[in-house]
Amino acid sequence: MSRPDLIARLAQRQAERAAAQGLRRLRVVVRGEGAWLALNDRRVLGFASNDYLGLAGHPAVRQALVECAAREGVGATAAHLLGGHQREHAALETELATWLERPRALLFSTGVMANLGVLGTLLGPDDLCLQDRLNHASLLDAVRTAGCTLKRYQHADAASAARQLATAPDRAALLATDGVFSMDGDMAPLATLAALARTAHATLMVDDAHGIGVLGPEGRGSVAAAGLATDDVPVLMATFGKALGVAGAAVVGNEALIEGLVQFARTYVYTTALPPALAAATRAALRVARHESWRRDQLARLVRHFRHGARARGLALADSHTPIQPVLLGDSASALAVSDALERHGYFVPAIRPPTVPPGGARLRVTLSALHRESEVEGLLDALASAIGELPAARGVEVAPSSPRAGRQGSA
C-alpha cells in the first residue's frame, strides 16, 4: 500500500474547486489612493474594502506611524511578556478600554489570533460552544483549538440558540456570535442573546470586527448600539483592520478575563507583539473614529442611497443596513460574469462564491466607505443593473429579504 502524497492531494482539491468555478484569484494592487486602486495598468474604483471610515490613508494615522517608526524602530522585537510590550502598546490598551467602556483591553496581532486565544483559553473538552451558523471562520476554527463540543444555531435566531443550550444544561457554555456578519451585513440580535445568556448562565462573546468604528455612540460598535455593557457581553473582540484602517485586534473585558488571557492564551504568549508604530497609528485612528462623526453620517447616507437605488433598479439585496451590501446572484458563473463586467466599467467588486458562502448564495459583496461619493454609488448601480441585465437569465425583480441561510464554513 502506497502512502498518499499530500501535495498531490492538495492539487486535486484545487482542481475540483476550479471545476466548480470557486477558484480564488490573487490580485496585485500597484497603488491605492483613497477608494481608487491601480490593478496592473487599470485604475478602478474599489467597492470591496473594509476601510469603512476611510482611515487607512488618513494623514494623522500615517504621520503617527512614520513618527513612531522613526523614534522606536519597526519591530517590537519580542513577545509582550518578554520585553516586547512597549509604551505605545500600553497606551493603546488604555485608550481602547476607555473608548469601549470596559475595564481592560489586551492586544493581539490579528482578529483570528484573538478568537483562537479566547476560545482556547476559556473552553475545554467538557465544555460547550454555541455559535451562529454564519459566524466568521476563525470562531469556528477556534473550537478545534479548544477541543470542546460545537453546536450551531440558526442564523440570528435566539430561540434556536436557546434550544441548543437546553440540550446541555450542566455544561459550561460560551455563546459566540459576530456583531455584524461579514458576508451578509446584517446584525446579530445582541440584546436578546444577552438575555438568553444570562438566563442560561452562559458567557456571551461578540466578535465585532465589522461593527467597531461604524455603529453605536462614538463608533463603539454593535454592542454599544444595542445598549449592552460588560456584564451583558463579558467578552468583546475588536479588530483594527476594518473601520480603523490599520491592523491588529484586541479583546476587551474585565480584569479576570484579561489577566487570564495574559497567562493562558497561547496566541498571545507565543507570538511577537505588534510593531509599536502600528499601535501608534491605531491610537490616531481611534481618535479620528471617535470624534469625526461625520464619517458615520456619510456612511449611513450612502447605505440609504445604495439601497434606494438598488430597489429602483430591481436588484436583489440582502437585508443589511450596514456598509456591507451583498448583491445576491445565486450561482458562481453569474457572480463572476457580473464582477468581470463591472471591472471593465471601472469598478472593483470581486465575486464571493462557495465555500465562503452557502451553495446558491454567490454574490457581489459591495462595501461602502466614507470616501465614496453619491455620484460614484450611482455609477456603480447603473453598471450593476446593466451587467445583471445582460446575464442569460436576469436575476431578481425585487429586493430579497435575506441571503440563503445554509450553514457555511465561515467568511473571508
Q: How many CB atoms lie within 10 A of CB 264?
A: 13
Are 93 and 99 in contact by the 8 Å Cβ rule? The answer is no
Give the DSSP letter of residue 82: G
Q: Is 135 exposed, middle or buried (0-12, 13-18, 19+ CB in 10 A)?
A: buried
Phi, psi of 183 (to 5 degrees): -100, -20
**CA–CA separation, 175 vs 116, rounded Å?**
15
**CA–CA separation, 155 vs 97, rounded Å?**
30
Q: How many CB atoms lie within 10 A of CB 267?
A: 21
| 151: annotated active-site residue | no
**CA–CA separation, 57 vs 281, rounded Å?**
11
Are 136 and 408 in contact by the 8 Å Cβ rule? The answer is no
| 210: annotated active-site residue | yes
Catalytic annotation, pick one of 182, 222, 320, 334: 182
Q: Is 101 exposed, middle or buried (0-12, 13-18, 19+ CB in 10 A)?
A: middle
201: number of CA atoms within 13 Å, CB side?
A: 6
Are 234 and 117 in contact by the 8 Å Cβ rule? The answer is no
- Tracing cell 496585485 back to the chain, one arrives at 28
| 182: annotated active-site residue | yes
Phi, psi of 50 (to 5 degrees): -95, 15
Catalytic annotation, pick one of 58, 85, 155, 242: 242
- Tracing cell 490598551 back to the chain, one arrives at 93
Catalytic site residues? 182, 210, 242
